Amino acid sequence: MQASNLDYTFATGGEYELRCAIDLYGQSLLRYCHNILCDYFEAQDVVQITFIKAYNKRRSFKSGTSLSAWLYRIAYTTCIDSLRKKKLLFFMSQTNTESMHFVHQTNVDSKFISDDLKAALLTLSPAERALVFSRVIDEKSYADLETIYHVSATTLRKRYERAKIKLSNALKEVDSYYKELEETK
């Protein structure tokens, strides 16, 4: 099923429409969440929750609008919820900075994201990571981003410019990474 058709049928549809939505947007949402969370397995969980939420609340989706933007909105808020939850659990169970370092380390999975890149990404806030990914990789327009983040295009533009500089500086600080990318430029 085509994306444009799904924009009209999802709200009144069932499991078939859900499967179509997953086929169309599943992998790109997984990448998006992975980028925000910097944790592949966490991203898997969040994407599953996103589609379950979307399915359960499909009646509230405004037929004819962008299903993609609606799903991205759900995925974004679910990522933020997941990170809040992690933070809350962390503060409940850890009391010193040594432990904080440990928790940070154990969440690292260098198999999917190099440690250097992850360190650079973590200099951004989750909202900034989401925005940078949406612009640079998904190449979403500011009009789409307004729908996803519920923030005006002007504000998003400013935020994006700041985040972009922050991330590129962080990448430049990671010597090996920067050199390697420079060579392939």
> Is the separation of the CB atoms in 76 and 148 below 8 Å?
yes
- How far, CA to CA in Å, does 185 sit from each of 89, 120, 182? 42, 19, 5
Tell me whether residue 30 or residue 69 sits nearer to other proteins (CB atom). 30
Query: CA-CA distance, 32 to 80, in Å (whole number)?
Result: 12
Query: CA-CA distance, 182 to 55, in Å (whole number)?
Result: 44
| Options 2, 59, 97, 111; binder of other proteins; rule CB under 8 A | 111
Number of residues that bind other proteins (CB under 8 A): 63
For residue 117, state whether it binds other proteins (rule: CB under 8 A). yes
Query: CA-CA distance, 25 to 109, in Å (whole number)?
Result: 24
> Is the separation of the CB atoms in 128 and 100 below 8 Å?
no
Stretch that binds other proteins, among 13-21, 57-65, 142-150, 151-159 (CB under 8 A): 13-21
Stretch that binds other proteins, among 4-12, 43-51, 58-66, 67-75 (CB under 8 A): 43-51
For residue 164, state whether it binds other proteins (rule: CB under 8 A). yes
- Any idea what DSSP says for residue 58? G
> Residue 63 contacts by C-beta under 8 Å, 6 or more apart in sequence?
7, 8, 10, 11, 12
Least distance to other proteins, CB of residue 154, Å: 19
For residue 52, state whether it binds other proteins (rule: CB under 8 A). yes
Q: Which residues bind to other proteins, rule: CB under 8 A?
A: 15, 18-19, 22-23, 26-27, 30-31, 34-35, 40-41, 43-45, 47-49, 51-53, 55, 78, 81-82, 84-85, 88-89, 92-94, 96, 98-99, 102, 106-107, 109, 111-114, 117, 120, 132-133, 135-137, 139, 164-165, 167-168, 171-172, 177-178, 181, 184-185
